[in-house]
A and B are shown apart, each in its own frame.
Chain A
């Protein structure tokens, strides 16, 4: 079998799916790309068994055939070649691959394509349409709050709940929780799935910056994302997501509205002086003044700043992990944010003060205790 393809066109397609390939896969063949040629079309698959990505491009070829090509060595070769047509010649008996370019010849050992795991296809799927812009924003607004704790598998992914009127994306690590809701995505029948973090990270880095339509299909076990000429298939996390609505406090007598950037910059400075284990910062609200402070008694470090804000409610002092606050405030785009609290041991809420039409975002964060008593 033989085919000719542009080195840069091939590299571009491979780069978009290469993220799936792990360095130490469960089965060694997964260190390869699967190349399948049919009627002048090259379909390339990469997989780690949980997540697979497929892309295709046109090549010049007289015959059909399949081969598994070592991903790393192929990527490296293409990256270092100047743009030109390259010829792949494959020996169907030995699976040896020879790449010839103007610069020379490169021979590498391929593997039998039939050993490559089968990628599940779509059956009984529910389909939802959205744009790459919406999907990118939903992922980046939630993914940072997912958990790394393998003992709580449901929380290692983003929960997506679809209803006839909206779509809700939720992520939590048990300390904080993000609920991101869009009214411009909906499904005729209610459904909910949990998508693993790795798949979403891959999507985030692969989704094109120009706004294109994405088709999302899912059934009980897998989800399929289709955009450009890339397909991603991932296994869903088959767990019950925690009852997140239960933990969102409804009664928050304290409302503080503050300039987001001012608050964020202050937190970043104060955090430098916080204890490196707890990252605890103290927010003290007195009238319309917010005092942000931190101390690390072990090193006699301390810092203190005063900011003005709008505040409704009684004076309150509450501690939070500065890293969490910074991460959350970074993911909000509005000029001002509103923080809502009730007590130093109850969750605090962060919401953007001005909402955009289609999205609704709510962030929840548990405090770090300032006292030894509740």
Chain B
């Protein structure tokens, strides 16, 4: 793609919780947590009223209830969220076909060339947000810039119900001031490592050479080097649909005992459980990934005809682990799901029907 692109990142405000408040007006103005409950589970989304108390998504239900005793827990209704997400996407498609959904509640739009012939990405973003409010009834925030990373970062600036623009000429100043953990692709673990190196913001990161960063962070080094200079060439990929959901962990020191593997796998499973609860994703194939200290990678998987319950996923993970002969010490373990309910055909055409035995009917 030539020239400067115009990318909009649209992010729904407290999406799941807002849908609940819209559908059940008695929840309006109240602290609401979707997912989890007082005893267990994790919060998938929290309303802004709940966030004032410090309730955050991915927080345990117990912790959330502690922070906000009057918190109302509601069960997630993913089908409903999907339906609304579809309505929002329809609006996007009226402006451009280059729509890359990141999840049910956020998406990138490339409006460099758009169907409404509006040269201003800012005005398009405003119009899209107005239409989402009017036609769907929910608030959205938007970020506008010349690449995906900056657009995504921008959508957070005036959240909720606002939008922000990062112009190419302002990008460098902006990035220099940006705290390191806010950079795209820098998670908590990487951010901690960077802080140990004295990198706290973009300016600090810029000090380091590409050579140093690649040595320290491997392939991601180049990404970090580019991103802090406002270079992020990734295109808006309209067909990007999540194909797998996984969690993995690289250990501080390699594990050689089987008992340690199980312990670590249990932690990874917990993280996977959190991700599953947050996204509502189901998958028919369970895959165990093992990276040995010599960097050889081994994967093993098992598929089911129906989406397995969490309990079965755990049993399968253990089964796959026990099948493995110990090939030396282990550097990384990962657990993932594929053949997801998102990628399954949504159309009926070509669908093999099931016999409707009660109570096995779907």
* Known contacts A149-B305, A149-B306; A368 and B358 CB within 8 A of each other: no
For B350, list chain A residues within 8 Å (CB): 275, 277-278, 280, 368-369
Query: Does A345 reach chain B (CB closer than 8 Å)?
Result: yes
Q: Are A174 and B351 in contact (CB under 8 A)?
A: no
**In the complex, A176→B352 CA distance in Å?**
10
| CB neighbors of B among A131-155 (8 A) | 147-152
Q: Are B357 and A369 in contact (CB under 8 A)?
A: no
* Known contacts A151-B304, A151-B306, A151-B308; A368 and B351 CB within 8 A of each other: yes
Query: Does B355 reach chain A (CB closer than 8 Å)?
Result: yes
Interface residue SS majority, chain A: loop
Query: Does A370 reach chain B (CB closer than 8 Å)?
Result: yes
Query: Does B26 reach chain A (CB closer than 8 Å)?
Result: no
Determine how close the nearest CB of chain A comes to the CB of B305; give it in whole angstroms. 4
Determine how close the nearest CB of chain B comes to the CB of A253; give it in whole angstroms. 19
Query: Does B356 reach chain A (CB closer than 8 Å)?
Result: yes
Contact with A along B340-362 (1 / 0, CB 8 A): 00000001111111111110100
Q: Are B348 and A369 in contact (CB under 8 A)?
A: yes
Query: Does B312 reach chain A (CB closer than 8 Å)?
Result: yes
Query: Does A200 reach chain B (CB closer than 8 Å)?
Result: no
For B348, list chain A residues within 8 Å (CB): 369, 371-374
Q: Are B356 and A278 in contact (CB under 8 A)?
A: no
Q: Are A345 and B357 in contact (CB under 8 A)?
A: no
Q: Are A247 and B355 in contact (CB under 8 A)?
A: yes
Q: Are B360 and A242 in contact (CB under 8 A)?
A: yes
For B305, list chain A residues within 8 Å (CB): 147-149, 151-152, 174
| CB neighbors of B among A235-279 (8 A) | 242-244, 246-247, 275, 277-278
Q: Are A368 and B353 in contact (CB under 8 A)?
A: yes
Query: Does A49 reach chain B (CB closer than 8 Å)?
Result: no
Q: Are B352 and A152 in contact (CB under 8 A)?
A: no
For A243, list chain B residues within 8 Å (CB): 357-358
For B347, list chain A residues within 8 Å (CB): 372
Contact of B349 among A148, A277, A364, A371 (CB under 8 A): A371
Q: Are B349 and A247 in contact (CB under 8 A)?
A: no
* Known contacts A151-B306, A151-B308, A242-B360; A175 and B355 CB within 8 A of each other: yes
Determine how close the nearest CB of chain A comes to the CB of B338; give it in whole angstroms. 16
Q: Are A172 and B304 in contact (CB under 8 A)?
A: no
Q: Are A246 and B353 in contact (CB under 8 A)?
A: no
* Known contacts A243-B357, A246-B357, A364-B355; A369 and B349 CB within 8 A of each other: yes
Q: What number of B residues sit within 8 Å (CB to CB) of A?
A: 18
Query: Does A367 reach chain B (CB closer than 8 Å)?
Result: yes
Determine how close the nearest CB of chain B comes to the CB of A294; give it in whole angstroms. 11
Contact of A174 among B304, B349, B358, B360 (CB under 8 A): B360
Residue in B closest to A277 when the chains form the complex, CB atoms: B350
Residue in A closest to B357 when the chains form the complex, CB atoms: A242
**In the complex, A174→B304 CA distance in Å?**
14
Residue in B closest to A148 when the chains form the complex, CB atoms: B305
For B354, list chain A residues within 8 Å (CB): 174-175, 366
* Known contacts A242-B360, A372-B347; A150 and B353 CB within 8 A of each other: no
Determine how close the nearest CB of chain A comes to the CB of B320; give it in whole angstroms. 14
For B306, list chain A residues within 8 Å (CB): 149, 151-152
Residue in B closest to A248 when the chains form the complex, CB atoms: B355
Q: Are B312 and A247 in contact (CB under 8 A)?
A: no
Determine how close the nearest CB of chain A comes to the CB of B214; give it in whole angstroms. 40
Q: Are B353 and A278 in contact (CB under 8 A)?
A: no
For A275, list chain B residues within 8 Å (CB): 350
Query: Does A194 reach chain B (CB closer than 8 Å)?
Result: no
* Known contacts A280-B350, A372-B348; A174 and B355 CB within 8 A of each other: yes
For A172, list chain B residues within 8 Å (CB): 355
Q: Are A368 and B352 in contact (CB under 8 A)?
A: yes
For B355, list chain A residues within 8 Å (CB): 172, 174-177, 242, 247, 347, 364, 366
For B358, list chain A residues within 8 Å (CB): 243, 246
**In the complex, A369→B352 CA distance in Å?**
7
For A367, list chain B residues within 8 Å (CB): 353
Determine how close the nearest CB of chain A comes to the CB of B336; give it in whole angstroms. 19
Query: Does A321 reach chain B (CB closer than 8 Å)?
Result: yes
Determine how close the nearest CB of chain B comes to the CB of A273; give it in whole angstroms. 15
For A373, list chain B residues within 8 Å (CB): 348
Contact of B352 among A147, A177, A366, A371 (CB under 8 A): A366
* Known contacts A149-B306, A247-B356; A369 and B312 CB within 8 A of each other: no
| CB neighbors of A among B192-215 (8 A) | none
By CB atoms of chain A within 10 A, which of B304, B357, B360 has the most?
B357
**In the complex, A345→B349 CA distance in Å?**
11
Q: Are B304 and A278 in contact (CB under 8 A)?
A: no
Residue in A closest to B306 when the chains form the complex, CB atoms: A151
Residue in B closest to A241 when the chains form the complex, CB atoms: B357
**In the complex, A176→B304 CA distance in Å?**
18
Determine how close the nearest CB of chain B comes to the CB of A142; give it in whole angstroms. 15
| CB neighbors of B among A144-171 (8 A) | 147-152
By CB atoms of chain A within 10 A, which of B347, B348, B352, B357 has the most?
B352
**In the complex, A151→B308 CA distance in Å?**
8
Determine how close the nearest CB of chain B comes to the CB of A301; give it in whole angstroms. 15
Residue in B closest to A347 when the chains form the complex, CB atoms: B355
**In the complex, A364→B352 CA distance in Å?**
14
For B352, list chain A residues within 8 Å (CB): 175, 278, 321, 366, 368
| CB neighbors of B among A45-71 (8 A) | none
**In the complex, A148→B312 CA distance in Å?**
16
Residue in B closest to A24 when the chains form the complex, CB atoms: B323
Determine how close the nearest CB of chain A comes to the CB of B176; give it in whole angstroms. 49
Residue in B closest to A320 when the chains form the complex, CB atoms: B352
Q: Are B353 and A366 in contact (CB under 8 A)?
A: yes
Contact with B along A333-371 (1 / 0, CB 8 A): 000000000000101000000000000000010111111
For B304, list chain A residues within 8 Å (CB): 149-151
Known: A177-B355, A243-B357, A370-B349. 7 other contacts (CB 8 A): A149-B305, A149-B306, A151-B304, A174-B360, A243-B358, A246-B357, A368-B353
10 interchain residue pairs of minimum CB distance: A242-B357, A366-B353, A149-B305, A369-B348, A278-B350, A247-B355, A369-B351, A372-B348, A368-B352, A174-B354
Return 29 A-B CB contacts under 8 Å, by A number: A147-B305, A148-B305, A149-B304, A149-B306, A151-B304, A152-B305, A174-B355, A174-B360, A175-B355, A244-B357, A246-B357, A246-B358, A275-B350, A277-B350, A278-B350, A278-B351, A278-B352, A321-B352, A345-B353, A347-B355, A364-B355, A366-B355, A368-B352, A369-B350, A369-B351, A371-B348, A371-B349, A373-B348, A374-B348
